[in-house]
Chains A and B, each alone.
Chain A
């Protein structure tokens, strides 16, 4: 009975989806709506208009900056939600599951040595990905996650939990809000310069300003992302 219900549900969901996919234009079709609408303008003018040679970054932080503002707020809200839920949750009950995975196994010296050895390289790579995101693949989200993963590894190796975090708590709170703060600052600057929130000055001699605004956003997203990932990790480990 249950299996039949599952099969019917899957069929109801899958048949319209497959029909819709069958109606899509072929990949690479030059007449597809996605290529005839705004994409042509982005490809032709994007690098000049946005101050970002990487068109993905151009769309993300200039043409669709308001959407990205929303994304950054989502990540920030996720951390706030995790903190709120875990601070009100019941303390961990070890008898639920005898072989606990989080804390039972000490870090092996080999792993600790490798992490310490590669940490500076990972840090440089993360910073590079954040700062080069407007010219090459990468950007604040990717570089921020790389830095956040590094902070996670270092917390593990150095044995730093919530009671002795890598960053002092008040500083960490500000860094976790870096993404929304950077968007608010750049957005208000755009409002002052062009009259539109997150507007970018359009003059041909303001290329440098446009590029700087993109870099400030990337830095905010990257630093905020790294701090939020570390925060999530510490909160969820909870020891």
Chain B
């Protein structure tokens, strides 16, 4: 059961990482990357690292996404 959870989460992580790499719309990429951090947070918690999980949820899924969006707002939205 525990292993199955890990495998599903890892498969999702790989799929999201590929989606981020392939996306030409940077806003979409930023949002998918926030979801990646959320799954990473679940994995940390599941592996028994609640401190890291909290950091990942707050910084990875929250603040980083906003900072990336602001950076996109100051530059261009679409990758060439």
Contact = CB atoms under 8 A, between A and B. Distances in A.
B interface, how many residues as a size bin? 20 to 34
B27 interface: yes
Given A96-B75, A138-B54, A238-B74, A101 B63 contact: no
Interface stretch (A31-39, A40-48, A146-154, A168-176): A146-154
Interface secondary structure of A, over-half rule = helix
Interface residues of A, number: 28
A145 B74 CA distance: 23
A237 B77 CA distance: 15
Contacts of B51: 54, 56-57, 137-139, 142
27 contacts: A54-B51, A97-B75, A97-B76, A97-B77, A97-B78, A100-B73, A101-B77, A102-B70, A102-B74, A137-B50, A138-B51, A141-B55, A142-B54, A145-B59, A145-B63, A146-B58, A149-B62, A152-B63, A229-B63, A232-B67, A233-B66, A233-B67, A236-B67, A236-B70, A236-B71, A236-B74, A237-B73
Contacts of B54: 129, 137-138, 142
A201 to B, nearest CB: 25
Contact of B63 (A56, A102, A148): A148
A166 to B, nearest CB: 16
Contact of B58 (A97, A142, A232, A233): A142
A145 B77 contact: no
Contacts of B77: 97, 99, 101
B46 to A, nearest CB: 13
Interface secondary structure of B, over-half rule = helix
Interface of A: 54, 56-57, 92, 96-97, 99-103, 129, 137-139, 141-142, 145-146, 148-149, 152, 229, 232-233, 236-238
A236 B65 CA distance: 13
Contact of B69 (A57, A101, A139): A101
**Among A54, A92, A148, A236, residue most surrounded by chain B Cβ atoms (within 10 Å):** A236
**Among B50, B55, B74, B75, residue most surrounded by chain A Cβ atoms (within 10 Å):** B74
A139 B71 CA distance: 28
A39 B77 CA distance: 47
Contacts of B59: 145
A45 B21 CA distance: 45
